[in-house]
Structure 1
Amino acid sequence: MIWDLHCHLSGVEGKTVDERIAQLMVYADRMGVERLIFFMGWPFLTDPTPKQFREQNDQVMQAISHWHDRAFGFVYLNAKYVEESLQELDRCVKNGPMIGVKLWVAARCNDPAIDPIIQRAGELKALIYQHTWFKTGGNLTGESTPSDLALMAARHPEIPIVAGHTGGDWELGLRAIQNSPNLYAGIGGSDPTAGMTEMAVRTLGAERVIYGSDIGGRSFASQLAKVQGADIPEVSKRLILGGNLKRLLTPILNEKGIKV
């Protein structure tokens, strides 16, 4: 069972969202990926207006509309616009088909001003994916680090949150989230470096590590290799490739009456 936490419609061949997701399903079938989670449309915008992130969420909802047996969506929000983001959360999750939240680089997640978004997501049982990075040359304005996320997670200890990319510099990222039991390492979207998954399992336990590809920025094959080629027990690989994500999504899937 392979569930992919981290998929995009950008970087994929096709003039429409329907053409792009159909092409991705061809690749997913080839690699044995059963279910895919999509967030963000195109173009990539680091600081979208409410109108722009609504348009991108519409793209995702259109893309998944013909693939309910395979594809889910996370609502893309800009935490600089708290009220508009709360409205979009209700539109796409409470009253729509989406099952999670994607936060990118517009506002750092250590700012308590974004707490209403986190709290509302928790109320809806929506899984939160927060992009994180430790960049050698310095992060973008508004780009969160795993240390920022650890501060935010401490304010919401009952809400599960995924540290996207495990901070890029994964050795630092894993240590930064180690003592935050509600944080999970999203290992997708970086080079398939030997030892990454092994360290994640040693540091966090296999139950807190989640596979994702970051396709179309990365390939299924390179990202699956991080797990399938890791020197860890098979039971740990099964958790990372799908078991953990299914467990975290089960509450909201049950709430929406979706059987998996």
Structure 2
Amino acid sequence: MYCKQCKRENPAGNKFCEYCGAKLEPEAAGAPKKFNKKLLLIIIAAVVLVAAAVTTIALVVHSRGADDDVFMEQSSSGTHSGDTAYKKGSYDDYADDFIFPGSDEEYLLESDVEDLNQADTQQAINEIYARHGRIFQKDPYKSYFAACEWFKPTYTADEFKDEWFNEYETKNIQLLSSHRDDLSVNIDSENAAIQYALDYCRKNYNAVDGAMCDGKSGSNYLIRGYNDMGTHITTMFTWTITPDGDIYETDGGNLEYKHP
């Protein structure tokens, strides 16, 4: 029984309040029972905690999904964000399109490039750029790579950054560029002819102490290589070097080296 006077509960059947003595009025049938505020607060708190837990789990799952997406984008796009062209190891099915299919995964050796002519050397350089979506403005490279199924033209020359290359590509471009520059010769002076002869000897493990020019024959240079023996100089070769980089033995006229 509920006392309206002191607001306290009394045992059922009491006619008067045990606390204040006020007359108790019996509850009408179907009358609503006292509203339990403490129970309501407990229920609300439980609902809030459950909602918070569900929200936290959802955020964690979403966060992990986003991280996975970023990882996939980074790993599939190679060395720079947003690049959709470069995918390491994804060119196995297109090996015939490349001079060096593995130049993004292994170091090239001098023996790999020494027989390349100038055009093929430049092509080998350009295919490294093409993997990263470098756009080519001039033929034959523009037409060639446009016909490659794997090629995705993405970056102009101004937009492209060499820092996107991995360590293999960087070293291989350096090697190929050096070889290309060696092929691009125009021997137009005695000093250039002497240096050309010495470089040839060095690359072919036939180094000499020095070289001198004995004059010209038309547009060709007569170069003598020697070793300094201390008391005398020993001639090791006499070559005729053309402006295009061909080397002939001066005495016998035999071709020593045909420039690519």
* Interval of TM-score (by shorter of Structure 1 and Structure 2): under 0.3
**TM-score, normalised relative to structure 2:** 0.20
Q: Where is the helix percentage greater, Structure 1 or Structure 2?
A: 1
Larger RCO, structures 1/2 (Cα 8 Å, 6+ apart): 1
User: Which structure would you say has the larger Rg?
Assistant: 2
